[in-house]
Amino acid sequence: RSPQGAGSGDGSPSSAAAETPSTEDFSLSLLDTNLPAEAETELRSFIAKRLTKGALFEGMGNVASVGLSIPENKIGCYYCRFQQENLLEMATLESGINAPEYVVCFLGGSEKEDTFRLELDKYIQSLKINLALEQKTLETYVNPYLRSWFENAICPIQRVVQLFQEKLAFLLHAALSYTPVEVKNADERTDKDISRFLAAASLQGLVQEGTMTSLCIAMTEEQHKSMIIDCSGPQPQLHNAGSNRFCEDWMHAFLNGAEGGNPFLFQQILENFKLKAIQDINNLKRFIRQAEMNHYALFKCYMFLKNCGSGDILLKIVKVEHAEMPEARNVVTVLEEFMRE
């Protein structure tokens, strides 16, 4: 047990903190919460049990259902253990230093927080870097930062859908096709929201890295250059924007989801959108392999591109991926000619 008990804070929900949970001998002291006292004690007990079992890894969030004495009873809890970045480095260099550790807890209506676990991990990472124990920093930066977790980490996709409405199809098309996007005359939050949406809707991490790089270069060199989003008016104005039937269909899925106003639903729709795009890419690649030896399969390729609603983007992706394969490249060239006609 270290003499200076450390604490942890959270914002919208509640939090508790821990010191060196390597053994059972640790203390939890409260830094900040907006939970009722009884529920806070129950949450502290839940976190203490997890720490005793060694179930919390530094910087990696977990999501669990927690029973608390509040009207909702069972609610989803995201919790993450971390140390200050600078103290973590010092503790590594000088093993004698016993750096305080923190646990932040965010509580929501259900375990759907798991949908946003990576976003919340990034949110905590930013806190790690900027956290200082001085009371001044705690009141001016840490507490407000934690209390705005839901607004900042969970709601950006929902805000973009509400802002763009039918024009969301153009944004989805830009994300899928790696078209560079320039945002003008937007406030800082809107600018960040749009960047976050584009990153979340792209296939980054789902297609080969070399393909992505080549696509980005190809799209930047194309005639239309960047898509411009002008946010000076109440509705964003788009220039050099492209779309297709696939993106328009998914735009309607987002707008239909907007009626319920559930941010977790938007994230799920976005994941399904990317999953369908990847399935279409894999189907097309399979048809192209068959078409190298079979003219009927070439016709199947063409019909698939024509009917999938996203032929323009899929063709660009497979063209980049098959650039070094002569037979497949010939198939793609023929498909390009058919699609042009």
Parallel, antiparallel or unpaired: strands 29-32 and 7-9: parallel
Helix (H) / strand (E) containing 295: helix 295-307
List C-alpha distances in Å: 322 to 40, 292, 332: 57, 12, 8
Q: Are 231 and 186 in contact (CB under 8 A)?
A: yes
Cα separation, 228 vs 335, in Å, equals 30
pLDDT digits (tens, 9 = 90+) for 46-105: 999 988 887 788 888 998 888 888 876 778 899 999 887 666 556 555 555 567 788 999
Nearest C-alpha neighbor of 173 from the set 208, 197, 192, 191: 197
Q: Are 29 and 100 in contact (CB under 8 A)?
A: no
- Stretches in the chain below the pLDDT threshold 70: 1-25, 72, 85-98, 109-113, 130-136, 205-224
What is the rounded (10 degree) CA torsion for 287, 292, 295, 299? 30
In sequence order, the β-bridge partners of residue 105 are: 79
Name the DSSP letter for residue 100: B
Cα separation, 176 vs 191, in Å, equals 19
The predicted structure's pLDDT at residue 80: 93
Q: In percent, how much of the chain has pLDDT > 70?
A: 78
Query: Model-level pTM?
Result: 0.80
H-helix segments, 53-149: 85-93, 117-130, 135-137, 143-147, 149
pLDDT digits (tens, 9 = 90+) for 33-61: 889 999 999 999 999 998 888 778 888 89
Name the DSSP letter for residue 12: S
Q: What's the per-residue H, E or C state across 188-250? A: HHHHHHHHHHHHHHCCCCCCCHHHHHHHHHHHHHCCCCCEEEECCCCCCEEECCCCCHHHHHH
Nearest C-alpha neighbor of 95 from the set 31, 22, 29: 22
The predicted structure's pLDDT at residue 5: 36
| In the chain, where the domains are located | 37-86+98-135, 162-340
